[in-house]
Structure 1
Amino acid sequence: MATPTLHDPNPDHYDAGERPASNLPVVVPSEPSLPDILDRKIERATAYAKAARSAATRKAYASDWVIFAQWCAELALTPLPASPGQVATFAADQADAGLNPSTIVRRVAAIGHYHRASGYPAPTAQPDAGGLAEVMAGIRAEKGTRKVKKRPADAAALRNMLAEVQGDGLRAVRDRALLAIGMAAALRRSELVALELGHVGLVPKGLEILIARSKTDQDREGATIAIPEGTRIRPKALLLEWMAAAGHTSGPLFRRLTRSDQLTDDPMSDKAVARLVKRYAAAAGYDPGEFSGHSLRSGFLTEGAGQGATIFKLQEVSRHKTVQILSEYVRDADRFNNHAGERFL
């Protein structure tokens, strides 16, 4: 630490060589004061806390907060801080408007997040939050519906979709590779568009794909997924065809194309992946409303479970933190295998 300098606040009060006893020297530190250091540390801590939530969650929370603030403004209420009763009324209005219970739960969580960030206790954590908890339970009980799952793009569906990608133009070559890799690596659409050329490793048996960051990997530890070469869907061959056609040597792997099919430097958006899946599902004769970007990921898990892959081998590819969700795919595949009524029905 640097040595502090001495400064007399009243140098004109004495002659050279003299210093009044009442005018003690003042220490002027040459480094930031303790409050400044603490402020900087708090700023860094805040940044780390912000990074702990995915970009998608932060975006959703920001949108939810705007909706709540607008609702409060219409009723001449203060959004921050808000009472549990105020939030309960907001939640009830949202339910009456037809919103899904899971969306309402997220909005209440967003309200709590903004309260904590501003130094207030979340409405759900206040002593009189019992009424709010009852309202939320009632919404889930009355409005709750069975979650509608999108149809998985299993091996048969994906082969049918790939067959509808016509031609050898740049867009067709890209779309075939994207569909194949998305399914073969059980990727979320956000992971698919985040892939870069440097994340692809070519090995004799197929591909090694590095997932640098994902929804469940906020610490950025990364994970490497093995993709076999394949003899039916042939994901490696389709990806190599795209890389050769695009000719880029770095940056995003799957890039946005202009209307005239010119390659850009920008990655595709996750919404573009969802639209692409729906378009080729419709071309293959399926109801596009039953498919989504997640259909590629669920398609791998559905097909893998149906072909007898163990839940742990599925987890190697899907990277689920627990096997609870994966067990649903295995149960679906085994529903008629060794059925309890097989011997007497």
Structure 2
Amino acid sequence: MNMADRYLQAGTRENTRRSYRAAVEHFEVTWGGFLPTTGDGIVRYLAEYADKHTISTLKQRLAALAQWHITQGFPDPTKTPTVRQMIKGIRALHPAQEKQATPLLLQHLEQAVQWLEQDAEKAAARQDLTTLLRSRRDMALVLIGFWRGFRGDELSRLQIENTQAQAGVGITFYLPHSKGDRQHRGTTFRTPALKKLCPVQAYVNWITIAGIAHGPVFRKLDRWGHLAEDGFNANSLIPLLRRIFNRAGVSGDLYTSHSLRRGFATWAAANGWDIKAMMTYVGWKDMKSAMRYIDTADSFGELATSRPLTSSAISQVQALKVAENP
């Protein structure tokens, strides 16, 4: 690969390149289409799968086909009036409610952390390093994921070299690029230390027992206690999180990696964070993105017959006091 190709490739996220390749293959191999194609060809393709796939999946495939044509020097067939009309028709005839991850409840987070802490203490007492490592890693994962509102891919890309933590004060993460950072300028994320369920102390405990000074923060651990050199694949975080919560006695099958992000947003909204403060902290660039993560049912306060957080959980939240920087 020459230097120009390397820079061109770096301008697109690997997940995007992978999904675009799969979409082009689906058009050519699965459906049997020919490239380059026309607007009529796109319409026939959409008609074939309109009732089989969500509108977001179809639009993602259109984006892949558009990029293929543009990079190959052909006119973009996905921008014709008939294709636009086809998308509107699919929306009208196949309306679908957008699926959202279940927000992680604070009491479930606390239950999981308590179980992991007990598991770590028992492992230390019997000198079981493998279990101790796994418990410390998992505790740091869920606490950082929740309180920082990270996506799964952001958790998988955290690097020790780009992380600074001071127990009792706070932790700072730097990501060279993220989903909302279109210009690849890099983003710094800060989180204070907490008196309870503290992500800072969990991180310090994890890297100390693991003895790692560089590379990915979160990585696989085999049954013999050997840590992988590479970080987690973002897709592997969902089964990992479900195992953590199931073992702690929580219905883990309800949750995905996005549940951490939605859980924090729900907690913040219930505790008086305004939307601007939440957007700044989490890193959302537009109001629409932020509102997708907030459970507005809690806005009815005490008049609501059911609440996202139980009264006991709310009292626990109110007991959390941020340890401010000296």
Band the TM-score falls in, shorter-chain normalisation: 0.7 to 0.9
Aligned to 2:322: none
Matches within 5 A, 1:160-239: 160-165=111-116, 166-167=119-120, 168=123, 169-203=132-166, 205-239=169-203
Superposition TM-score, scaled by structure 1 size: 0.77
SS of 2:188's partner is strand
Aligned to 2:83: 132
Q: 1:65 aligns with which of 19, 24, 38?
A: 24
Amino acid corresponding to residue 173 of structure 1 in structure 2: R
Matches within 5 A, 1:223-302: 223-302=187-266
SS of 2:50's partner is helix
Higher helix share: 2
The Cα shift of 1:132 comes to 2.2
Amino acid corresponding to residue 151 of structure 1 in structure 2: T
Whether 1:114 and 2:68 are equivalent positions in the alignment is yes
- Structure (1 or 2) with the larger CA radius of gyration: 1
Distance, in Å, in 2 between the alignment partners of 1:146 and 1:325 is 16
Give 5+ residue unaligned stretches, structure 1.
Answer: 1-39, 340-345
CA contact (8 A) 1:305 1:329 kept: no
Distance, in Å, in 1 between the alignment partners of 2:138 and 2:295 is 32
Whether 1:326 and 2:277 are equivalent positions in the alignment is no
CA contact (8 A) 1:201 1:207 kept: yes
Superposition TM-score, scaled by structure 2 size: 0.81
CA contact (8 A) 1:305 1:333 kept: no
Q: 1:205 to 1:333 in 2, by over 3 A?
A: farther
Matches within 5 A, 1:72-111: 72-73=31-32, 77=33, 79-96=34-51, 98-111=52-65
Distance, in Å, in 2 between the alignment partners of 1:185 and 1:216 is 15
Distance, in Å, in 2 between the alignment partners of 1:329 and 1:68 is 33
Distance, in Å, in 1 between the alignment partners of 2:257 and 2:278 is 19
Report 1 or 2 for greater relative contact order, CA contacts < 8 Å, sequence distance ≥ 6: 2
SS of 1:88's partner is helix
Q: 1:211 to 1:94 in 2, by over 3 A?
A: same
In percent, how many aligned pairs have the same letter?
A: 27
Aligned to 1:143: 94
Aligned to 2:128: none
The Cα shift of 1:283 comes to 3.4
The Cα shift of 1:237 comes to 1.2
Instruction: Give the superposed CA RMSD.
Output: 2.4
The Cα shift of 1:181 comes to 0.8
Greater CA drift, 100-109 or 311-320: 311-320
